[in-house]
Structure 1
């Protein structure tokens, strides 16, 4: 057992020693090749620096906004129990939904048409693949993402600082407008059904009230009370021996009797219809308010301003990356050449 342990430790020491030797060899080779590597790095830096001046400089403008919860305004006014606070900031889910709208094709198409980005980006819309080309350029110049604070940051790059500012501000405004439009469209559909149900209910009430009017025209105003009164009069007439009067009262009761069921059914249905009308009217008013109201979908914290400093390209970074990349490529080439030999 001691022998095995010694063997393992010896193997580990040998492996570690070999690794150290390889590292030292690599470092020694890099030092020996320092002149060509330095030349390659300088050459890469010069080429990258020259190439960076061929890239059109762009300015950045950004808008920071917080999403607001999309609540029913009608519910805030017509419901007794308020489910949510209308003044509260939106949660992450609200921000994600707004971000989906912000990155939607509907927003992109409106921005492209409003600012004629086909001409601005020099893209011929009649050429094959023009839509894909526009989408690629637009995605490279316009972006939006969630920040760690739960807000949404819209960033726009353009060669003209005023254009970048206008695009960023309008995208934020269009996002709010489209969000309201989507909410209003849903509310209008609900309003259509609520209005149809309310009208149907009111027509039924009108028909039943009309039939009750017909019954009143023949002397039936409140059947239970009338029958109760006639019964008392009939009993009194019999008690007083007024036979003729009793017969007249009985004749009146017999004339009213055929309408008993109809009157009772009408009054019962009318009570239910009036209650239903109150509910439907409330729903109608609620959906009407939602369909017509314009609730902000976002609260803009920082509006975009025209920048006076170029945001890209970052020439020093391009130069450094070019120098490092060409130096590494030269090192790989030298190592491969040495290995082949």
Structure 2
């Protein structure tokens, strides 16, 4: 029974639609004409876009100066880094930079004396721009504007500003690292200079090469002691036979003994001083070698940090630069006409149904 009633209602509605078909078609046509007129009255907008890949956040020094590491310099950023870039693109700092550069408040016709002009300008800017990740993990910056030239300029400027923002962020951190390492390097250099100064003082006392001097002095003192002992023994022998030897023999023997003792006495202070100073000298040399190696490592790190701080490279792999669009993307005239036509058709059809089925019940 219900199916029969539905069939009868559908038949009745169809008959009414056929009965008033001219009226419905006329109203639909009027709607289409209104949509067509409005589609030409709406100020068109043009879309310009730029596409680029974001590089991985690698240190310049490590990417360029390290051996066999250039592939990291050419590597694309991962999804996390793409999200970071999209976050930067949505920042108020970047928006205000673009708004100021192109005076968009005036361009959008926003009264600066009205309430919240900056907020309104940002809202209009947001509605005219789109930042999104493509299917291939690139980033697309799309800008719509009534001025096609301005749309292209804004898109390219956003891309350049993003590059500048990323560079400034990285260089800001690199500067902090550079200053920290530079301070440590200078302190270490002072320590090394102090050690060299102490070594210089010790060298002035005659200790300048422990191994070579130790060998030479050891041999010299042993030789001097041996010479003194030999000459003393010789003199004693000569004394036992003094009556049988010429006077000159004893005189020469005593002269050689005196010379040997003088040589020994002259070496003794040098050997004693060497013994006292050599311990400190060896300690300082060991510390110096260690600190010099530490200083060399700090110098390498300082040079790398300076490269990261003072050098800058592009923060994007540009795929497509924004160009001036030739064709507007808004409004879609065919869609506007279709929507107005459909709306007019539905309204006219509902009016006919109301007149035929609803209104008679109230009479």
TM-score (norm 2): 0.77
Q: CA deviation at 1:121?
A: 1.1
Q: 2:329: which partner in 1?
A: 311
Bigger mean CA deviation after superposition, 222-231 or 190-199: 222-231
Q: 1:294: which partner in 2?
A: 312
Q: 2:271: which partner in 1?
A: 253
Q: CA deviation at 1:244?
A: 4.8
Q: CA deviation at 1:116?
A: 0.9
- SS for the counterpart of 2:140 is strand
Q: 1:113: which partner in 2?
A: 100
Q: 2:222: which partner in 1?
A: 235
1:203 equivalent among 190, 198, 210: 190
Q: 2:124: which partner in 1?
A: 137
The 1:200–1:329 alpha-carbon spacing in structure 2 relative to 1, beyond 3 Å, is: farther
Q: How does 1:95-106 map to 2 (within 5 A)?
A: 95-106=82-93
The 1:310–1:291 alpha-carbon spacing in structure 2 relative to 1, beyond 3 Å, is: same
Q: 1:169: which partner in 2?
A: 156
1:277 equivalent among 295, 311, 318: 295
Q: 1:181: which partner in 2?
A: 168
Q: CA deviation at 1:49?
A: 4.4
- SS for the counterpart of 2:319 is strand
Q: 2:136: which partner in 1?
A: 149
Q: For the aligned residues, what is the CA RMSD?
A: 3.0
- SS for the counterpart of 1:305 is coil
Distance 2:5 2:142 in 1: 48
Q: 1:214: which partner in 2?
A: 201
**Which digits, 9 at most, give the CA deviation of each residue in 1:32-83, with x for residues without a partner?**
4534766665565455445444432111111122222232221134334527
Q: 1:320: which partner in 2?
A: 338
The 1:25–1:156 alpha-carbon spacing in structure 2 relative to 1, beyond 3 Å, is: farther
Q: Is the 8 A contact 1:205 1:273 kept in 2?
A: yes
* Count of residues in correspondence between the two structures: 323
Q: 2:46: which partner in 1?
A: 59
The 1:32–1:235 alpha-carbon spacing in structure 2 relative to 1, beyond 3 Å, is: farther
Distance 1:145 1:24 in 2: 50
Q: Is the 8 A contact 1:73 1:289 kept in 2?
A: yes
Q: CA deviation at 1:26?
A: 6.4
The 1:118–1:244 alpha-carbon spacing in structure 2 relative to 1, beyond 3 Å, is: same
Q: Is the 8 A contact 1:78 1:282 kept in 2?
A: no
Distance 1:122 1:182 in 2: 34
Q: CA deviation at 1:205?
A: 0.9
Distance 1:58 1:245 in 2: 106
Which stretches in structure 1 are left out of the alignment for 5+ residues? Answer: 1-16
Q: Is the 8 A contact 2:128 2:145 kept in 1?
A: yes
Distance 1:189 1:99 in 2: 25
The 1:22–1:247 alpha-carbon spacing in structure 2 relative to 1, beyond 3 Å, is: farther
- SS for the counterpart of 1:310 is coil
Which stretches in structure 2 are left out of the alignment for 5+ residues? Answer: 230-259
Distance 2:141 2:57 in 1: 20
Q: 2:282: which partner in 1?
A: 264
Distance 1:304 1:30 in 2: 54
Distance 1:257 1:33 in 2: 126
